[in-house]
Amino acid sequence: MSELIDQSELQSRAARLVEAARQAGADACDAVAVTGVSLSVDVREGKVEETERAEGDDVTLRVFVGRRTAAVSANRLDDPDSLAERAVSMAKVAPEDPFAGLADPELLVKEFPVLELLDDKELTADELTDIALEAETAGLEVDGVSKSGGASASWRLAGIVLATSHGFEGSYISSRYGMSMTAVAGEGTGMERDYDFDSRTFFADLDRPKEIGLRAGERAVRRLNPQKLSTRTANVIYESRAARSILGHLVGAINGAAVARKTSFLKDRMGEAVFAPGIRVVDDPFKRRGAATRPFDGEGTRADQLEMVSDGVLQHWFLDGASARELEMKPNGRAHRGGSGTSPGPTNITLMPGEKSLEELMADAGEGLLVTDLIGHGVNGVTGDYSRGAAGFWFENGKVVEPVSEITIAGNLNDMFKRLVPGNDLDNRYSSAAPSVMIEGMALAGS
């Protein structure tokens, strides 16, 4: 399948743009050339609803004239000189940015690690259809499932090249395979739906379609006849899927750009205990077959595995070149390309597991709310105030009693982090990975 992407052509495009920009008067510049091909199939009730194949190319040139910068993008590179001249003209009239610039040469990647990013298995539309239909059939066979909300299967291949005017050139190709199924249980106004999915770098690592469908169906049936809770304070356990959102709130708070703008509730907490002792959060750009694994960041900067939180203590921000300069720190290889420049962010970030299973966490809590689904985005990044709609299950004596819905969970992330207890059921498939977590004493608003 790798023959579908011509890396030498991508390298040529990026190099031509860099040279054109230098000829047009840029003091420094970098160019990104990307290409991709994908195929997906959606089915519903045993029939193919949509088959989509997409191919696309894109080039982005970023130029610096002094401390002024501009960027232009194009889907084709018919005239690199014209594109470069336009970018340089734009930069000359842009406001100065004291933190703009390419990465320091001594921070650039010199040796590229060998990473498992590419599976050469190409799937046909017929094969994807069979996968999606198998997942849907398995979901519909679950007792209590009344209809399918649809199933899908897909693969994609992406290639990227980054070239800079100070001599860096790097490239890689990555693959991704995925499938999902949504099941609907019950009838009329009492219907509930839920889903399951999987996404992997290598096709052989995917869960079987039948497993995806069965889990989707079982999750939907479990949600039937939900009850409402009265307002109270209770222990809350987020199952692994929902716990990733808690990790996401941490990621946003330790983003170097947010810290520099003073819009993070953790902006003054570096070196302090943010979580309880023993809690570790690790960001690993070289995770084997990871969803966000990469040999270099969006500026060509080398990166290492970072323990963002060690024994509960906050150790690092995510930093690209600009945010690092603004904070007078050293970038740590967390630049992501997007739009006209870079922004800092995680790679494969993991809240490391604890010792107890989900069942043991529920037994320890005694009674409380097991959250399986979250709604809305009610988090204030400046203050850490937290308010999210939720659904899940009420449990007593460590055992699920009944499904519940239409609940609002409220608190403050500063307090939530300190009380967080991770389980041992880490779901390690995705770029943001977390086990189930328990947080004592949350405010629940019900009916």
Q: Is 285 left (phi over 0), alpha (psi -120 to 50) or beta?
A: alpha
Q: pTM, whole model, 2 decimals?
A: 0.94
Assign residue 103 a region: left if phi > 0, alpha if psi is -120 to 50, beta otherwise?
beta
Beta carbons of 152 and 42 less than 8 angstroms apart: yes
- Checking if the pLDDT of 274 tops 70, the result is yes
- Structure-derived torsion over alpha carbons of residues 399, 244, 118, 58, reported in degrees to the nearest 10: 150
Please provide the average confidence, as pLDDT, over all residues in the chain.
Answer: 95
447 has pLDDT over 70: no
Q: What is the mean pLDDT of residues 408-423?
A: 97
**Interacting residues of 80 by C-beta distance below 8 A, sequence separation 6+:** 13, 16, 17, 19, 20
pLDDT at 1 exceeding the cut of 80: no
Instruction: State the average pLDDT over residues 14-38.
Output: 96
What pLDDT score does 180 carry? 98
CA distance 171 to 412: 42
Q: How many CB atoms lie within 10 A of CB 228?
A: 10
Distance separating alpha carbons of residues 239 and 307, to the nearest angstrom: 23
Between 80-92 and 7-24, two packed helices, what is the crossing angle to 10 degrees? Answer: 50
Rounded Cα distance, 59 and 10, in Å: 9
Rounded CA gap, 152 and 197, in Å?
Answer: 9
pLDDT in tens, 222-241: 999 999 999 999 999 999 99
Separation between Cα atoms, residue 129 and residue 424, nearest integer Å = 35
State mean pLDDT over 83-101.
95
Q: Give the range among 47-51, 340-344, 350-354, 368-372 with minimum mean pLDDT.
A: 340-344
Q: Is residue 19 scored above 90 in pLDDT?
A: yes
- Residue 446 scores a pLDDT above 90: no
Containing 21, the helix (H) or strand (E) segment is helix 7-24
Would you say 57 and 157 are in contact if contact means Cβ atoms under 8 Å apart? no
- Other beta carbons within 10 Å of 67: 15
**Coil, strand, or helix at residue 385?**
strand
pLDDT tens digits, one per residue of 130-187? 999 999 999 999 999 999 999 999 999 999 999 999 999 999 999 999 999 999 999 9
Apex 192 CA angle, 191 and 193, nearest 5: 130
Band the pLDDT of 341: cuts 50, 70, 90: confident
> What average pLDDT score do residues 420-440 get?
96
